[in-house]
Amino acid sequence: MPASSPTPAGSREREVRHRAARIEDWIHDVRSRWARRRGHIPTVVPYTGYGSTEWVRVFCRVLLHKPLATDQGSKRRRRRGEQGVRGWRSFTSVPVGGVPVVIEIGGERIEVLADRGGVVDTTVPVSLEPGWHRVTLSTEGANPVEAPIRIVGPDVEFGIISDVDDTVMVTALPRPLVAAWNTFVLDEHARIPTPGMAVLFERLARSHPGSPVIYLSTGAWNVAPTLTRFLSRNLYPAGPLLLTDWGPTHDRWFRSGREHKHENLRRLAEEFPNVRWLLIGDDGQHDEELYAQFAAEHPGRVEAIAIRRLSTGEAVLAGGRTKAEEHGTEVPWVSASDGSTIADRLAEVGVV
């Protein structure tokens, strides 16, 4: 695959950019000049990526952040590189758009531009062995950081795509407040794992060794470091988080979370044509409908669909629930209120 990355819009795009996007850009510009006057410098926040033996998909974000003092030592710097800018600071830090980011992996070195939100989401052609690798990311004025990359072997035929909120983590908040909760909770210890879900993932890992696990969420990239620590602390398998950038786009007020999930599901199907996916979500919003649509559009590419049933209270807060039987898919479909029971039901259909 050729290298690609979102780039700042040209003059023509600026002319047709949505008013909200132009306002956001102006605010970022004002805050950027203010932050730089206070001595803030570009900081690359690395995120977990993935790829095949022929290419990798690399993620990171460039923010303006106060530099560490020299007496704070290299250990603290490495920890920042691993964790990123924490908690609410990741939202108050100013994104830096249009800056070059150098990516080095497997002997390859390329330079791409961060998009207007400071996000890099790019594909790099490189030859790597299956397993975990590290990519080095750097930009002028910032210390280089490393991000893990999961390489999926050509012989892998099973993979897992899972939602996050109310699936692996109990949110129990009205959907309009989920974003605020994820934004301002400072410590992943305050988050509650969904009962039995870590058990489900552990059983899946034992049944399908080497299979990729990808967490697909409508959450913002800002919370990726916190979610990564939460998943690790609660013994979920490591894997890339496919998140989104909040705020307006060039043609609309807000990004569509549903479109974000649909596009990434389609992309994963194209990137790994030999993989059959187990899709895991909940019945609080659109997971069932999206998964059924994906199964219909990609016959033979879905191993099963597993839906966590929310409690009555959780369903009310999430905005209601949908019914699996309405979707009419022939793919094995199981549901339960906890991960352990889902695992048992997946075992009944031969997935675990």
Q: What is the pLDDT of residues 86-139, one digit of tens each?
A: 455 555 668 888 899 999 999 999 999 998 888 999 999 999 999 999 999 999
Q: How many CA atoms lie within 13 A of 198 on its CB side?
A: 14
DSSP element (H, E) containing 73: helix 73-83
Comparison of pLDDT for 177 and 276, the residue scoring more? 276
DSSP 284: S
Element counts in the chain: helices (H) and strands (E): 11, 16
* pLDDT value at residue 252: 45
Whose CA is closest to 138, among 186, 168, 105, 162?
105
Domain(s) labelled CATH 3.40.50.1000 in the chain stretch across 158-348
Q: What is the dihedral of CA 113, 115, 121, 123, to 10 degrees?
A: -40
Share of the chain above pLDDT 70, in %: 67
pLDDT band at 14 (very low <50, low <70, confident <90, very high): very low
- The single residue listed with the structure tokens 């009205």 is 174
For residue 12, pLDDT beyond 70: no
CB 179 within 8 A of CB 221: no
pLDDT in tens, 227-271: 898 899 999 999 999 998 755 444 444 455 788 999 999 999 999
For residue 319, pLDDT beyond 90: no
DSSP 301: -
Name the pTM for this structure: 0.81
CATH number, domain 11-151: 2.60.40.10
What's the rounded mean pLDDT across residues 32-58? 83
* pLDDT value at residue 170: 81
Rounded alpha-carbon distances, angstroms, from residue 238 to 131, 191, 229, 233, 234: 12, 18, 10, 11, 11
E strand spans, 139-233: 145-151, 158-162, 169-170, 192-193, 213-220
Rounded alpha-carbon distances, angstroms, from residue 80 to 36, 77, 87, 273, 336: 20, 5, 12, 36, 39
Count Cβ atoms within 10 A of the Cβ of residue 120 and give its class: 0-12 exposed, 13-18 middle, 19 or more buried: buried
For residue 327, pLDDT beyond 90: no
CB 60 within 8 A of CB 101: yes
Rounded alpha-carbon distances, angstroms, from residue 81 to 48, 94, 178, 189: 12, 17, 27, 20
According to CATH, the topology of domain 158-348 is Rossmann fold (3.40.50)
What are 202-211's contacts with CB under 8 Å, separation 24+? 202/235, 202/237, 203/343, 203/347, 203/352, 204/160, 204/278, 204/343, 204/346, 204/351, 204/352, 205/237, 207/351, 207/352, 208/158, 210/130, 210/153, 210/156, 211/156, 211/158, 211/159, 211/160
